[in-house]
Amino acid sequence: MALHNKKNSVIPGFGPTLGYTIFYLSLIVLIPLSALVIKSTDLSWQQFVGAVTADRVLASYRVTFGAALMAAAANAFFGVLVAWVLVRYRFPGKRLVDALVDLPFALPTAVAGITLATVYSSNGWLGRYLEPRGIKVAFTPVGIFVAMTFIGLPFVVRTVQPVLEELESEVEEAAVCLGACRWQTFSRVLFPTLLPSVLTGFALAFARAVGEYGSVIFIAGNMPMVSEITPLLIITKLEQYDYAGATAIASVMLGASFILLFAVNLLQWWSRRYAE
């Protein structure tokens, strides 16, 4: 119907808009990504496998994906709590708290990393109290987890928040009137409705954390085999003029990004189908 309804169309026809879309995506996305993959073909298959499975590279995968997974899981839990408070309660400063949720979107990642490293260092506001108790955050893998949690929280909150706003409180009241306790109300009434959005927010936070660089390098310590993330290792390869090795590792991260993107789209499709 959209192809034949030309009189009511505000934008140009299907042909021009599709052409501009493909041109724009090719210029911004497809051509650079294709160049990345083509550059990695300078390596033979054995060299490629050796470059992406070296001990240092595998350690960076474990640090990056492990910390991103834990950070996304933490955000999935606390993000739901934050969204619940913002939707269901009224309190002084609510708009300020709601605006602070989006701070990781607006704050430059390098600024976030420097701030977190300052706060959690041995003489920082929080680090001076944590380190005497054996909890060292700055310049350890724990710092990576903290940075990834910081930048991923808004994805869960902003994904869950609209679902909670559409979920009327009368549903909970009806469950209580039927004799359900708080846990039964949450597990049988609220959680099934929230699950698709929570999973989508989790996937988005995980994907964002995997590719994070600026906020992590200032607090990670960047020790090879211990607290070195894969994006930093790619930069290190480039500084050593090992362009083929850098593009090989980047190709692996690109493949992981496509898998995560597919997972997010699948979750969004399932969420829309579940809502219907």
In a domain, 142, yes or no: yes
More confident residue, 2 or 42: 42
User: Is residue 102 within 8 Å of 154, Cβ to Cβ?
Assistant: yes
Q: For residue 2, what pLDDT is reported?
A: 46
Residue 77 has pLDDT above 60, yes or no: yes
More confident residue, 189 or 252: 252
Q: For residue 1, what pLDDT is reported?
A: 45
Could you tell me the pLDDT band of residue 8, with boundaries at 50, 70 and 90? low
Q: For residue 96, what pLDDT is reported?
A: 92
More confident residue, 276 or 270: 270
Tokens of 241: 């003029």
Range ranked top by mean pLDDT from 17-21, 146-150, 241-245: 146-150
Tokens of 58: 């595998």
Structural domains of the chain, count: 1
Q: What is the pTM of this model?
A: 0.84
Q: Which residues of 64-103 are buried (b: 16+ CB within 10 A; e: fewer)?
A: bbebbbbbbebbbeebbebbbebbeeeeeeeeeeeeebee
Q: Which CATH number do you get for residue 189? A: 1.10.3720.10
42: which DSSP letter? T
In a domain, 251, yes or no: yes
C-alpha 155/C-alpha 141 separation (Å) is 22
Least trusted range by pLDDT, from 59-63, 87-91, 170-174, 222-226: 170-174
Structural domain boundaries, residue 151: 42-275
Could you tell me the pLDDT band of residue 180, with boundaries at 50, 70 and 90? confident
Residue 128 has pLDDT above 70, yes or no: yes
C-alpha 20/C-alpha 24 separation (Å) is 6
Tokens of 80: 């739901």
Q: For residue 260, what pLDDT is reported?
A: 81
In 3D space, the residue among 255, 210, 82 whose CA is nearest the CA of residue 156 turns out to be 82
In a domain, 29, yes or no: no
Residue 11 has pLDDT above 50, yes or no: yes
What does the mean pLDDT of the chain come to?
Answer: 86
3-state helix, strand, coil split of the chain in percent (to 5) is: 80, 0, 20
Mean pLDDT of 141-149: 94
In a domain, 130, yes or no: yes
In a domain, 10, yes or no: no
DSSP, collapsed to helix, strand or coil, labels residue 110 as helix
